[in-house]
Amino acid sequence: MNIYLNGKAIECRASNIAQLHSELGLPPMVAIALENKVIPKAEWESTPLSEESHLVIIRMACGG
């Protein structure tokens, strides 16, 4: 399936956000927005992806 991740078109096999997180090998502390709405981690398994979904991944950072 083709999706947009942080504005870039990519191909993935994931059918939900949890699978995409695993497929991309992302660290546990990230926020994921689907169609400009942050999806709570508890809902990743039940949030399906569809062709041309637009996602933004935000990595947590420490510092001042």
Q: What is the per-residue pLDDT for 61?
A: 80
Residues 41-62 have pLDDT tens digits of 999 999 999 999 999 999 988 7
pLDDT of 63 > 70? The answer is: yes
Tell me the sheet residues that pair with 10: 3
Tell me what the pLDDT averaged over the chain comes to: 95
| DSSP for residue 47 | -
Of residues 53 and 63, the one with the higher pLDDT is 53
Domains by residue range for the chain, with CATH: 2-59 (3.10.20.30)
Strand positions, DSSP E, the chain: 2-5, 8-11, 30-34, 37-39, 54-59
Give the whole-angstrom CA distance, residue 64 versus residue 38: 24
